[in-house]
Chain A
Amino acid sequence: MLEGMLAGLTTILSLKMIMIVIGGCLIGTFIGMLPGLGPMSIIAIMIPVAITLGDPSAALILLAGVYYGAIFGGSTSSILINAPGVAGTVATSFDGYPMARDGKAGKALTIAAIASFTGGTIGAVLLMGFAPALVQVALLFHSAEYFALMVLGLSAIAAFAGRGQVSKALMMTCLGLMLATVGESSLFQMPRFTMGLMDLQSGIGFITLAMAMFALPEAILLILDKTRSKTPDQQQNEISQLRITKDEAKTMAPVVGRQSIQGFLIGVLPGAGATIASFLGYAVERNISSPKEQEEFGKGSVKGLAAPETANNAACTGSFVPLLTLGIPGSGTTAILLGALVALNVTPGPRLMTDQPEIFWGVIMSMYIGNVVLLILNLPLIPYIAKLLTVPRNYLIPFILFFTLMGVYIGQNNATELLILVGLGVMATVFRIGGYPLAPLLIGFILGPMLENNFARSIQLYDGISFLWERPMTGVLLILSLLLVCLPSVRGLLQRRRQTKAETKTV
């Protein structure tokens, strides 16, 4: 292994390669900031450039740089304008945006950068050590386990259910799952709930719904309530402050450590990926926090921001395990990378490590370098990026609206999608005014198709629902999700009982 690592290091440690990593990270970060262009589309766009480089290691290193850059760029738009362009950064906006609204945009971006860096780096260490062994475990996961894993992912919604809000959160999740069934499902090849409209044939787009649930209601509320955002003068002092206090670092450290490992392990499973990892990371961290810290979640908690950011980066690294060792792409992005690899005459699979060690280890080494470069490049840029928020309201709001509309339009060239966006956005605003949480809707929508497909496949395999008790791992995962949903309510109930007891005693 040491030999391989050295081979990788010699591949990457040349001026040309380092320039390629830097270039890739920069391109990825800037394009990734535009909502609507996620890592998948940016990598697809960069493939021709990578292929013209000729050298497979150089091409892969460029693409890996673009990938990391794009993920960080995506978090930026989630934090600054509540517009998550990629499913993996949806959870980042839960606490990142409230922090930015509090005037702590600089700090939020720094936390995101550090959490991403650590998640990615620890992920790379794990990848190096455990890749072959983990593949065997990942292959044990069948559709029944995936179904249970999606249910576990859905349990993240409990995190949005404050006191007396559980039923509302569940209702919104149900609505999200229902919206996900619109269109032609991959399993049945039959249009459902399209009402005869061609534009609904392929379902509601993820970006459309994400923008309609998060970015648009926020912009509309900013217009409605002039006192909602702080004035630029108020923000000026704090916004460019990057420094994380000692206490914040102390709260962050264990979260980052736990989520790097958890995120990586989820990323290894083909199909689960960064999205589930980030939702689960958020849910788990919230559940194991003290009741006082739990109150902070959703309002700008350091833990709530660090957890999904770490987990999604670690998961991205994890998703390279099945790609490099088995040639199975675990996510859309790695599928595109697989295409690039094949175009470059590299066949990923068990033999890659022995036949072309310089490529295998070169990619792993580029992950370290990419993460370091990203941190070095982005930390000095953060004050400038954060200053975007100090643009006067009359300019900022039209541009936020424009970016939201553009994110939905780019690549689809379908103006009807824009009308759907506005309609859903107005609906979402009304729901927000009514006090309904919107994040569960989006979580339901994202996990819905995977949940249904795996559920249907398991039923077909077992000719019924006996898989629920016949497969122990499925059972364990389902019990775990039940616990995640019920734990906060039970805890609250016990606390109230204790309080009433204490009150009766004092009386």
Chain B
Amino acid sequence: MTLERWLSLAFLAFCLAYGYAAFISMDAALPPFAKFSPVWPSSFPKILTVIGLILALGQLTVWHKSEPAGDIDRRQLGQYAWKTTAMIIALMVAYALLLRTLGFVFATVSFLVLSAMVLGERNWLKVAIIAAIGAFGIWYLVDPVLGIFLRPWPFVFYGG
């Protein structure tokens, strides 16, 4: 089965789960007085579920076309940098998880340096200097200048 059809199948599964919530569990939580209203919170989701199911089934069966040209050549998957990509995605997840603990400046510099090195950069000192200037500059613009709170340093610096 092609990736295109797998995705239609995933969408079908999503529609079924969405539809279950719309048709069954959501209405159960509705307060009694709201049941007199002509529209319920679940009305629009119900319509969407029906449309979604028709589209997903149609895509899986009738409308399915031969493999279109996507963004990458699926006959030569080996030539792409999957490992690097996976490592960068892992770094993004780590950045999200550690941003609060490490503080904006430290987390950002580490993220920029590590991702540049994963991409093949050897001169880590140069990246570190650029990253430090960039991270501090953005923090300075966002927090002191614009007044949007952004914790710059690790938690331990604040005594807690």
Contact = CB atoms under 8 A, between A and B. Distances in A.
A168 interface: yes
Contacts of B80: 224-225
B93 to A, nearest CB: 6
Contacts of A421: 96
A397 interface: yes
Interface string A437-448: 000000000000
A239 B77 CA distance: 31
Contacts of A432: 70-71
A460 B92 contact: no
A223 B96 contact: no
A254 interface: no
B1 to A, nearest CB: 12
Contacts of A398: 111-112, 115-116, 119, 127, 131
B29 A395 contact: no
A168 B59 contact: yes
A405 B82 contact: no
A224 B80 CA distance: 5
A54 interface: no
Contacts of B42: 192
Interface in A369-421: 393-395, 397-399, 401-402, 405-406, 409-411, 413, 415-416, 418-419, 421
Interface in B143-158: 146-150
Interface core residue of A165, A167, A426 (most chain B CB under 10 Å): A167
B24 interface: no
Contacts of B138: 34, 406
Tell me the interface secondary structure of chain A in the complex: helix
Given A224-B82, A405-B92, A394 B116 contact: yes
A418 to B, nearest CB: 3
A507 to B, nearest CB: 25
B38 A405 contact: no
Given A175-B14, A398-B111, A165 B38 contact: no
A426 B96 CA distance: 15
B60 to A, nearest CB: 10
Given A399-B112, A418-B95, A430-B7, A171 B41 contact: no
B132 interface: no
Given A45-B147, A164-B68, A434-B3, A395 B127 contact: yes
Interface core residue of A170, A178, A192, A397 (most chain B CB under 10 Å): A178
Contacts, number: 170
Contact of B89 (A181, A409, A426): A426
A429 to B, nearest CB: 9
Interface residues of B, number: 72
A219 B71 CA distance: 13
A226 to B, nearest CB: 7
Contacts of B71: 221, 432-433
A68 interface: no
A206 interface: no
A193 B19 CA distance: 10
B89 A220 contact: yes
A455 interface: yes
B150 to A, nearest CB: 7
A433 B70 CA distance: 5
B148 A431 contact: no
A356 to B, nearest CB: 30
Given A178-B18, A459-B38, A394 B119 contact: yes
A174 interface: yes
B118 to A, nearest CB: 9
A413 B149 contact: yes
Interface in B73-114: 74, 80-82, 84-85, 88-89, 92-93, 95-97, 99-100, 108, 111-112
Contact of B81 (A45, A181, A224, A416): A224
B44 A455 contact: yes
Nearest to A419: B96
B95 to A, nearest CB: 6
Nearest to B67: A435
Contacts of B69: 435
Interface string B37-72: 111011111001001100110110001010111111
Contacts of A399: 112, 134
Interface string B6-30: 1110010011001001000010011
Contacts of A413: 149-150
A402 B112 contact: yes
Contacts of A187: 41
A435 B70 contact: yes
A225 B18 contact: no
Contacts of A165: 68
Contacts of A402: 108, 111-112, 134
B119 A175 contact: no
A420 to B, nearest CB: 9
A144 interface: no
Contact of B56 (A171, A224, A226): A171
A455 B97 CA distance: 40
Given A165-B68, A178-B48, A399-B112, 10 more contacts: A45-B147, A167-B59, A187-B41, A395-B130, A398-B131, A402-B112, A413-B150, A422-B93, A422-B96, A460-B37
20 contacts: A167-B63, A168-B59, A175-B52, A178-B15, A190-B41, A223-B85, A223-B119, A224-B82, A398-B119, A401-B92, A406-B108, A410-B142, A410-B148, A419-B96, A419-B97, A435-B67, A455-B39, A456-B44, A459-B38, A464-B38
Interface of B: 3-4, 6-8, 11, 14-15, 18, 21, 26, 29-30, 34, 37-39, 41-45, 48, 51-52, 55-56, 58-59, 63, 65, 67-72, 74, 80-82, 84-85, 88-89, 92-93, 95-97, 99-100, 108, 111-112, 115-116, 119-121, 127, 130-131, 134, 138, 141-142, 146-150
